[in-house]
Structure 1
Amino acid sequence: MKRILAGTYQSLTIRNFRLFAAGQLVSVAGTWMMVVAQDWLVLALTGDSGTALGVVTALQFAPLLLLTLYAGGLADRHDKRRLLMAVNLVSAALALSLALLVLAGRVELWHVFLFALGLGTVNAVEVPTRMAFVSELVGAELLPNASALSAAYFNCARVVGPALAGLMISWSGTAAVMLVNAASYLATVGGLRMMRPGELHRSGRRPDRVRVMDGIRLVMSRRDLLLPMVLVAVIGMLGFNFQLILPLLAKTVFHADAAEFGLLTTALAAGSLVAAFATTLRRGRPPLGLVVAAALGFGIMQALAGLAPTHAVAVVLLFGTGFGSVCFAQAANHRIQLGAAPAYRGRIMALYTLVFQGTTPFGALLVGWLSDLLGARSGLVLGGTASVVAALVVLALHLGGTTGAPPPSPRPAAFRSVRR
């Protein structure tokens, strides 16, 4: 038992990772509080419009579609630690601005739209940089463990954040939640500043020139990277729209208040947390079959959650859905990230972020429209069904393809001899 526990928390023996995890735990909790407050504010401003929620979600994720690949190049070229400090400070300023508008009683829907667009622009840089930075904190050997622990603290925050937000909205309104979120970003900045740069695992000199297309060509030339990336794209677009669906499910199907809405989100996050701890013992790169199996399990649980007859049954099924979501996301992340050379990791994780989260605007608009037309349940049923079909298609392509070792990664352009 002691050996299992030691393996589970092995990455926390590294000081830089402890500082990073502590700061992220506070910051991500604030972010999930903000998600609940923002959605509740939009519903209050629009009379429970699913379309308006879809637009907000689309605006928040649209910059990922446009800017993430470029941001991956920035992450490979520049100091990831300093880049993360800068984007977290910008996020804090955005959250504070929206909070002040709400406090002044002057907030309008277009303000929320503008905030969502600004935060999405910052996230387009932050997400791939953060993912690639984890490998610098712990090295390749501990990357699966550190990634799983990152998912664990992320989902701890998803458990605590929405529950606190529901209570705070009931007591003080949405503005107080937004102020807490603005302050929470400083925890990440503080942790990053306290790190010892000399202890980071950096792979030599950063390249002077970084070509985004090199990362895309690498994925396209490798079936072991391409197939899980395709699966990530479909499930990310149609299966991971909980931010949009759950508030609609709570208000229009179960006629729940803010606290009960928070419970639905907390159940999803609790299942995710259990899965995150379950994957901390992974060592090495998972097989594609595990990625497909996780996608199938996630899709089945999500579709069943969409058919839940009562709020209590929905809570139980959303716990299972959350478990499946992290099992899939972690398996796909490790399969893709550990299949790429370190010099490509920023660009590969930018492409991963693009297909996972950058496709969300299309899914959000479709699911928002479908929810207005057929009800909130339809969004969960659609996402679950699409996930199952995508998993079966990828499995068929894998079984029908050629076997053998993947081709070696091409050398980074910056390290080739170039005639000037």
Structure 2
Amino acid sequence: MTEDAGKDAEETRAQETSPAAVDATVNVTSPVSGVSEAITAGASFLVTATNWRARKLRRGVKIELPAYLGVQCSWFMAFGLQLVLFPYLITGRNHLHLDGLALGLANMALSAPSVVFLLIGGVVAERADGRRLLILLHLLAAVPSLFLALAVSRGELSYLAMIFYALAIGTIGAFMMPARDAIVNEVVERRMRVGSSVTLQLGVTLATMAQFLAQIGGLVLAGYADKATRMPPWLGGFSVGPISASTLLIVQGIALACGAGFALFMARGRQVRTGRKGLGAAVGDILDGVKAVRSDAKLSAMTLLMFGVGVFVIGSFLVVLPIINRDVYHFGSSGIRDMFVTFWMGAFASSVVLAIFRRIKRQGRLLLTAQFIASAGMIPMLWVVPHWAFLMIVFIWGNAAGISIAMSRSIVQDAAPKEKLARVLSIYQLGFMAGAPFGAALMGLLVDLFGPQKIAVVPAGGMILLILWMVFFTPVWNMKGSAWVAHHEGGK
């Protein structure tokens, strides 16, 4: 028995150590090792999905800035068309042929709704989904343009129709401005989080450049209204136009509708919740924005400066220049086009230079210097100068305006509390828009009483006095840009 048992034990050990036995042992998988492999596979899948989502997010963030610039272009191309068509339809000999006061009152109707609705627009811009708001407003803005196109095509254009258009587009613009201007801050922030070197100043400058280019495109196109223009010989000598005013108004409506398409590629944006409810919520939010502006010397000074620009500069820009074009140089829509294209080309040229310098130390000092140059540039208009010299003055004026627009927006965006940004921007813009209707009506009246040239001393003198006050009694002249401070003093 013992020998048999020993043989059995040896056979058993031999079987256990045979290759077949070894393979059988290796092929046995425990439940624990299966779970481990599943967890490893799941983690690998999670990493892959996270990387895919991160790449998708980066692509979405990268496309946001071009989409935002597209929104800018659509609105301001329509605005460029409006800059020519609006005064042309009111003062042009082929249409209503009204005087300077009528043009001034119509421009007052164009900008007056902002005084009423701009602060509410700031509250709505903070509470609403920014993307949906931009889509809705662009679609609504296309309607007045198409209405005016229908009236012109039927030969039923009237001053009342122009006032209706002005009130409608002015009201929509009051909600559009804070929504569009506030969202650039978020676009830049999201872009910086994925490693972009775009600063807020650069983002604002790029938006300003897009604005100027689109306006120039609209201005050039509107200059062909009801008139053929022959190109110079070095461009081939061919003729462009005439394009009917009704067709151009349809183009204006289509351009506005395209802005809704660009807005589809933007993120929703942050929505501010203040905790207030009921009818008094909007009033309380607006008062918070007013307190934020009043408590910051830079914000209150910039708001006052924009009020002065609205009264003295915008009135001259919208009323005096078109009347000079008609009564002094005897041009129609093409003259308005050349004048405004020259102005915005100057503004674009200066904004290109600003885009090169991403961090400017003395933004306020540059702003006030540019405003002084623009104001002094009005003085030669007291005399009859050749048309080329007049356009040169307008170009210099445009240079100064490009700097002023970019720097003033950068200063306000830097200084404003981020949770109240849209409200602060609406108050800042209200300073500009509240002065514009008053300035337009005042300049229209003065043009009819004294002529378009003698009154140049009024806007020039008013702005120079305001600039001097800003230099000596506000912190704007000596302030430092936040981007410059962060870059040069952040490491100290």
**Which residue of structure 1 lines up, in the alignment, with residue 150 of structure 2?**
100
Q: Post-superposition shift, 1:396?
A: 1.9
- Give the partner amino acid of 1:279: L
Partners of 2:215 and 2:479 in 1: CA distance = 40
| Residue correspondence of structure 1 range 178-217 to structure 2 within 5 A | 178-197=249-268, 202=270, 206-209=273-276, 211-217=285-291
Instruction: Find the structure with the greater CA-based Rg.
Output: 2
| Residue correspondence of structure 1 range 243-322 to structure 2 within 5 A | 243-280=318-355, 281-283=357-359, 286-305=362-381, 307=383, 309-322=385-398
Q: Does 1:224 align with 2:298?
A: yes
Structure 2: give runs of 5+ residues left out of the alignment: 1-59, 193-197, 228-241, 277-281, 481-492
Q: Secondary structure at the match of 2:388?
A: helix
**Which residue of structure 1 lines up, in the alignment, with residue 54 of structure 2?**
none
Partners of 2:206 and 2:109 in 1: CA distance = 29
* Contact in 1 for aligned 2:470/2:477 (Cα 8 Å): no
Mean Cα deviation higher: 158-167 or 173-182 = 158-167
Q: Does 1:334 align with 2:405?
A: no
Partners of 1:362 and 1:285 in 2: CA distance = 35
**Which residue of structure 1 lines up, in the alignment, with residue 113 of structure 2?**
63
Q: Secondary structure at the match of 1:168?
A: coil
Q: Do the aligned partners of residues 196 and 124 (structure 1) sit closer, same or farther apart at CA in structure 2, a change above 3 Å counting?
A: closer
- Give the partner amino acid of 1:127: M
Q: Does 1:39 align with 2:121?
A: no
- Give the partner amino acid of 2:406: Q
Partners of 1:236 and 1:133 in 2: CA distance = 24
- Give the partner amino acid of 1:191: F
Partners of 2:62 and 2:393 in 1: CA distance = 36
Mean Cα deviation higher: 188-197 or 353-362 = 188-197
Deviations along 1:354-395, whole A, 9 cap, x unmatched? Answer: 011232110000001011111122454422222111100121
Greater RCO, 1 or 2 (C-alpha within 8 Å, sep 6+): 1
**Which residue of structure 2 lines up, in the alignment, with residue 72 of structure 1?**
122
Partners of 2:108 and 2:361 in 1: CA distance = 33
Q: Do the aligned partners of residues 266 and 132 (structure 1) sit closer, same or farther apart at CA in structure 2, a change above 3 Å counting?
A: same
Partners of 1:403 and 1:375 in 2: CA distance = 40
Q: Secondary structure at the match of 1:256?
A: coil
**TM-score normalised by L of structure 1:** 0.87
- Superposition RMSD on alpha carbons, in Å? 2.6
Q: Does 1:397 align with 2:445?
A: no
Q: Given the alignment, which residue of 146, 150, 159 partners 2:203?
A: 146
* Contact in 1 for aligned 2:367/2:407 (Cα 8 Å): yes
Aligned length: 391
**Which residue of structure 2 lines up, in the alignment, with residue 115 of structure 1?**
165
Structure 1: give runs of 5+ residues left out of the alignment: 1-11, 405-420
Q: Post-superposition shift, 1:258?
A: 2.2
**TM-score normalised by L of structure 2:** 0.74
